Amino acid sequence: MEWNPQPLDPADVTVHRRGKGTPLVLLHCLGMDWRFWDVLEPLTERYELVAYSFPGHGDTKLPKGQYGAPELTAQLQALAKREGLKRFHLAGISLGGSVAQQFAGTHPEMVEKLILCDCTPRYNEEQRANWPVRAAAARAGGVASLIPTLLPVFFTPGSIAENGPNVQFVRQTFEACSAEGYALACEMLAMVDAREEAKRITAPTLIMLGSEERQPFKDAAAWMDQTIPDSRVVEVPAAGHASVRERPGFVVEQFRRFLG
């Protein structure tokens, strides 16, 4: 895979803010958009939820070319400056969790508390080799063609069979996702490596993952817990990779307890 990351323009991004209190910046996962975090609406009484969509996702237009975690970190820093956010809580899931680690280790003075959901600082070699393959599949058949493979990763079999609102939301968001936006994010994930940044994280950190998460993410959670000084791990019961959408009630309560 050729790799030529380009700077990202913060002017391409619309930031969505709702609620009141300490800002909580939210970074979504691959193929989703800023609305992924709507299930955290109960927190708006105590926190201001600040969310936006990654390049080529949701209401953020396609970038000029490839980008990596450093470019996403620089974009978030620029957005924070534009929005007047000097210090805030930060939460990310999957792709967003990798970026959150990169950001929190690069700008520790800006992060009050950190929540990392179903993520890794670096994918293993098998996963890294698969990301360009996934990118090519998205470009060839669209993101909708990948849904039969993606849903069983995001949700447990019981939730898929029930086909409730959160499963439907994820399915519909995948269907609407730009093929090129998805592919570029896949290429970013093939290259992400935030291990050194993770070692520089100083914020108290909550590491969350679904109880039915795949083994590489369980291994990553253990590594992050050992590496980040003030951290702890919580498993979300009966949940897969999209733990936030699969068990929102449990997740909201964990956010409340951790953020204080």
> What are the C-alpha distances in Å from 46 to residues 22, 23, 36, 91, 260?
7, 9, 19, 16, 10
Model confidence at 1, pLDDT cuts 50, 70, 90, reads: confident
Statement: the pTM of the whole predicted model exceeds 0.85? yes
Burial code of 17-43, b = ≥16 C-beta within 10 A, e = fewer?
A: eebeeebbbbbbbbbbbbebbebbeeb
Is 221 within the bounds of a domain? yes
Is 53 within the bounds of a domain? yes
Task: Report pLDDT for 234.
Answer: 98
Taking only the tens place, the pLDDT of each residue in 211-257 is 999 999 999 999 999 999 999 999 999 999 999 999 999 999 999 99
Q: Please give the residue range of the domain that contains residue 103.
A: 10-259
Is 2 within the bounds of a domain? no
Is 18 within the bounds of a domain? yes
Strand-pairing partners, residue 233, are: 207
Dihedrals phi, psi of 93, to nearest 5 degrees: -125, 135
User: Which CATH number belongs to the domain containing residue 51 in this structure?
Assistant: 3.40.50.1820
CB 57 within 8 A of CB 138: no
Taking only the tens place, the pLDDT of each residue in 128-182 is 999 999 999 999 999 999 999 999 999 999 999 999 999 999 999 999 999 999 9
Helix (H, G, I), strand (E, B) or coil at 59: coil
Please name the residues in contact with 245: beta carbons below 8 A apart, sequence gap of 6 or more. Answer: 36, 39, 154, 155, 166, 169, 170
What does the alpha-carbon distance between residue 186 and residue 208 come to, in Å, rounded to a whole number?
A: 22
Is 35 within the bounds of a domain? yes
Q: Considering its fold, how many domains does the chain have in total? A: 1
